[in-house]
């Protein structure tokens, strides 16, 4: 079961990454977050698992959790913690 994040949540996550000096940004796929989020490297590379941990720390406050697509480490799926 996929869940969504709104535009403000994506913006907040991007600000968190920026404040931590992590040159990555999140973008919605297909015009809405229910299709997933794409993690884009905008500069120096960084550990994807650490970024996922930062994202999940934020999403935990919204009862959501993110995971990488198995064959594409730039694609994130968002699920409700209640459906896991």
**pLDDT tens column, 10-57:** 999 999 999 999 999 999 886 555 668 999 999 999 999 999 999 999
Q: What torsion do the CA atoms of 75, 55, 59, 12 make, to the nearest 10 degrees?
A: -100
The 3-state DSSP class for residue 48 equals: helix
d(CA 6, CA 22): 21
Report the candidate in 63, 58, 22 with the shortest Cα–Cα distance to residue 41: 22
Q: Is the whole-model pTM more than 0.75? A: yes
């Amino acid at each position: 079961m996929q869940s969504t994040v709104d535009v403000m949540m994506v913006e907040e996550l991007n600000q968190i990454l920026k404040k931590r000096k992590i040159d990555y940004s999140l973008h919605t796929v297909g015009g809405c977050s229910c299709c997933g989020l794409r993690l884009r490297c905008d500069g120096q590379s960084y550990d994807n698992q650490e970024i996922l941990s930062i994202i999940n720390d934020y999403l935990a406050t919204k009862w959501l959790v993110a995971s990488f697509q198995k064959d594409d480490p730039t694609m994130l799926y968002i699920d409700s913690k209640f459906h896991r």
